[in-house]
Structure 1
Amino acid sequence: MRTDGDEGGGEGGGGVRRKRRRTGRILLAVLGAMLLIGAGSAYWLYSDLDGNLKGIDIDTAIGDDRPAKLPTSGQNILILGSDSRAGANANLNTGHVSGARSDTALMVHIPEGRTRATAVNIPRDTLVTRPECTKYDGSTVASARRVMFNSIYSQVGPACVVKTVEQMSGIRMDHYVEIDFAGFKGLVDAIGGVTVTVDQDIHDSSSGLDLTKGTHRLDGTQSLEFVRTRHGIGDGSDLGRIGLQQKFMTALLGEIKKQDLLGSPTKSYKIASSLTSALTTDTGLSSLSKLAQFGSSLKAIDPSTMETIMLPVRYDTQDPNRVVGAQPQDKQLWNALRHDTTIPASAKKSPATGGKTP
């Protein structure tokens, strides 16, 4: 079964599956930025980059209609990947679309102690109930049912995406972070590339990726091609590419964490400049001092222990090109994250993937 079309200005074909192929670059780029900038002793290198960061007052936009904050030191972050075709992104081969969308959305849960993290990927073609929201101009948008998830960003704004995820999950987001295509490419190039190993040849004329079986060092452009690949490997679906994206996720974060920041000030500055220019955050993280403090608290997270789970979904009975949250798996997953309990194995399996764990 395929998901085609893209409400809200999307590129055609395979929306749910395309969503998964972008998981790695967004999650790791953002957490990598926090780990990097939180390096403490190297922070002075980045003090003049403070103006690169852009902030959004999510709290004011949402108001008081939100779940309660965690009573612990745990954190929940909503990470959006923007595919705006403006500015530097216009030069990237990102498809024949215009405007901006939240093409990737990850709710990252970091339990108390901040030594591990779980990321829930919300497929962009998921039909959800959008709550009543306030737009940038102060006007109110009424609640609506069966709204495609990735249309919310372009139609109402990022604060409404945060509010929608909070209503879906019952979990309050402590922070919001957005990164764009150009920032991801710049990050990979700044760290000198990422090494991945593939167990088969990959020739994808759509993304441009052309790799032989074996180990390869990918630059920024190749990495974009790698995380977008859905043709030339497996059955061509994004849901079938999850192992590939998670492999890249681990490789990228591991590469960032092993960078010699103090031994290479020039490279450190380039990495920080690349990331801060690409990031938009809530006002709680929109300065280098705030981002550095938060990043420092995440340094104990090991890439090998990070778990990425796709929100359990099934194909919609009315529109097979869309998906909806699968029950009871959906509720089991959010409940486990709310209470910091073990996620049931059943909650990691999605009917849309034939019951296989992504």
Structure 2
Amino acid sequence: MGHRTRPAGSRAVLGWTLLSAIAPGAAHLRAGWRRTGFALLGCYAALLLGALWLWLSADGDLVGKLTNDAVMTTATIALAVLGLAWFALVLHSYLILSPGKLPQAGQIVTGSVAGLLAVAVMLPFGLATQYVWISQETINSVFKEPTEPQAARHRPEDPWAGRTRVNILLLGGDADDNRIGVRTDSMNMASIDVKTGNTVLLSLPRNLEDVRFPPDSPMARRFPQGFRLPTDPAGGRSDLLNSVWEYADAHPEIFGGKKGQGAKALMDAIGWTLGLKIDWYALVNMWGFARLIDAIGGVTITVERDVVFGKYNEGLVKAGTRKLKGADAMWYARSRTYSDDFTRMRRQRCVLGALLTQADPATVLTRFNKIALATRELVQTDIPRTMLEHLVPLALKVQNARVTSVQFVPPLINTGYPDWGKIRAVTLKALKDSVAPRPAASATPLEKPSDTTSQKPKPSDLAAPKGITDGCSGL
């Protein structure tokens, strides 16, 4: 410590204390604590330079590493410690300015302001600590630790195990407290090129009939000619593509008594249909999705015409452009009244596109707790927790890459009599076009199905991929 200067007045005490809150060490220099002051300023400068370097050099890989469980735990502790240290620093900066030599009124005013300032500088650190902790809890509740075989499959030097594409099945289910089982009414397979992030979204209709399974699978042994059941007593069908998960879960005897095989059976069916190997799935509860939309304050959508819903057609989403709450957005996306499955598939893409474009960072930060809570109730997935740090940078690539979509709906595909060869040919062409001039071999196709008799489709039969929000007014 150096030579102490004369005591400061009330204004000077407050000014130097305030300056120390944004430039640690300033009050110490004023009070004559030169070594301490320069040391604090040096540490602060190093901290700022480090933060600037991270900001300028930050990329997807860094963001991915921030989702690592150990890194998040360390960050939570570090932020909490830093907040307490800044709180103590402001108070110490105030005390070394000799406020006890001020008149009583000056001591009361400066002490109160210094206390409030110390609390104020700690609040951002407390908020950041809370965000990191809630994020970690949310991630750990959604993504589970992998089994040992999965862990061995992915090595740090090549998390994709030599693959050029990652295929993730995105499902929308209708599970609710008042119904048994899960029907997957929305089924989209996202095929992502790991280098470019270019993505093809392949949408399959819920009412696809006679779906096949890989020949060596339990479901194929049970349904060698395709998934076909007797009609329901009321004449309805329970053997469409959207019923595979529910049926497999309800019949564990097909899998040797093993329960909970719905996800695996559906992944097998869709992967075999498209000719792709599906890596993981993510099931979104549609009503949990509504809560997520409410958490961000709703989504603005242009409703082209009135959408009627409800058992007795008592509900109505009116035509026009406006912000929809979660329930209305979900009914807009899900209703088939006076409509069909294929129109509904388009509306679902519009809601998804609106959510992706309107969930800006400011909204996410201000509604973070609600969004995190809604997310825990929203997603079920088999994506390993350890893969998240690799998938996050890939997702960031997708944001700036080309995203196209193909819908396997009439007239492209007859859902009652699907042309399996054509579906595979359309899939391979879409993947090839998304990364042209890359060869289509990057699609990791499975062997040609033995049950198809279709001829190779003509180029004119292959639908051109579309943007995810194509056909959505206002997006």
Confirm or deny: 8 A CA contact 1:178 1:279 kept in the other structure: yes
Stretches of structure 2 that go unaligned for 5 or more consecutive residues are: 1-62, 73-127, 151-159, 228-239, 249-261, 441-458, 466-470
Measured after TM superposition, the shift of residue 335 of structure 1 is 1.9
- SS state of the match for residue 164, structure 1? helix
Of 242, 247, 252, 1:150 maps to: 242
Q: Which residue number in structure 1 is paired with residue 168 of structure 2?
A: 77
Whole-Å Cα distance in 1 between the matches of residues 226 and 148 of structure 2?
Answer: 25
Greater fraction of residues in helix: 2
| 1:11-26 mapped onto 2 (5 Å cutoff) | none
> Greater relative contact order (Cα 8 A, min sep 6): structure 1 or 2?
1
Whole-Å Cα distance in 1 between the matches of residues 161 and 413 of structure 2?
Answer: 33
Measured after TM superposition, the shift of residue 239 of structure 1 is 1.9
1:214 to 1:171, Cα distance in 2 relative to 1, 3 A: same
Q: Does 1:260 align with 2:362?
A: yes
Q: Does 1:108 align with 2:194?
A: no
| 1:145 alignment partner AA | Q
| 1:133 alignment partner AA | S
Q: Which residue number in structure 1 is paired with residue 351 of structure 2?
A: 248
Q: Does 1:123 align with 2:205?
A: yes
| 1:311-326 mapped onto 2 (5 Å cutoff) | 311-312=408-409, 323-326=416-419
Q: Does 1:346 align with 2:442?
A: no
The TM-score normalised by the length of structure 2 is: 0.50
Stretches of structure 1 that go unaligned for 5 or more consecutive residues are: 1-33, 62-68, 91-96, 351-356
- SS state of the match for residue 225, structure 2? strand
Q: Which residue number in structure 1 is paired with residue 324 of structure 2?
A: 218
Q: Which residue number in structure 2 is paired with residue 278 of structure 1?
A: 378
| 1:248 alignment partner AA | V
1:50 to 1:128, Cα distance in 2 relative to 1, 3 A: same
Q: Which residue number in structure 2 is paired with residue 198 of structure 1?
A: 303
CA RMSD of aligned residues (A): 4.2
Of 267, 281, 305, 1:176 maps to: 281
Greater fraction of residues in strand: 1
Q: Share of identical aligned residues, percent?
A: 19
Of 393, 398, 401, 1:296 maps to: 393
Whole-Å Cα distance in 2 between the matches of residues 300 and 102 of structure 1?
Answer: 28
Measured after TM superposition, the shift of residue 338 of structure 1 is 5.6
- SS state of the match for residue 396, structure 2? coil
1:72 to 1:59, Cα distance in 2 relative to 1, 3 A: same
Q: Does 1:165 align with 2:165?
A: no
Whole-Å Cα distance in 2 between the matches of residues 59 and 169 of structure 1?
Answer: 29
Whole-Å Cα distance in 2 between the matches of residues 313 and 71 of structure 1?
Answer: 36
| 2:188 alignment partner AA | L
Measured after TM superposition, the shift of residue 263 of structure 1 is 4.5
Query: Over residues 163-183 of structure 1, what are the superposed CA-to-partner deviations in whole Å (9 max), with x where a residue is unaligned?
Result: 222222221122211111232
Confirm or deny: 8 A CA contact 1:313 1:330 kept in the other structure: no
Of 317, 330, 334, 2:427 maps to: 334
Of 39, 46, 52, 2:135 maps to: 46
- SS state of the match for residue 180, structure 2? coil
Confirm or deny: 8 A CA contact 1:314 1:324 kept in the other structure: no
Confirm or deny: 8 A CA contact 1:78 1:176 kept in the other structure: yes
Whole-Å Cα distance in 1 between the matches of residues 213 and 272 of structure 2?
Answer: 9
Query: Over residues 106-135 of structure 1, what are the superposed CA-to-partner deviations in whole Å (9 max), with x where a residue is unaligned?
Result: 111112335332211111221211234359
Confirm or deny: 8 A CA contact 2:205 2:341 kept in the other structure: no
Measured after TM superposition, the shift of residue 253 of structure 1 is 0.9
Whole-Å Cα distance in 2 between the matches of residues 230 and 274 of structure 1?
Answer: 26
Mark the structure with the bigger radius of gyration. Answer: 2
Confirm or deny: 8 A CA contact 1:312 1:347 kept in the other structure: no
Whole-Å Cα distance in 1 between the matches of residues 149 and 222 of structure 2?
Answer: 18
Confirm or deny: 8 A CA contact 1:124 1:149 kept in the other structure: yes
Whole-Å Cα distance in 2 between the matches of residues 43 and 150 of structure 1?
Answer: 37
Comparing 324-333 and 144-153, the one that deviates more? 324-333
Whole-Å Cα distance in 2 between the matches of residues 302 and 238 of structure 1?
Answer: 28
Confirm or deny: 8 A CA contact 2:412 2:461 kept in the other structure: no
- SS state of the match for residue 423, structure 2? helix
The number of equivalent residue pairs is 286
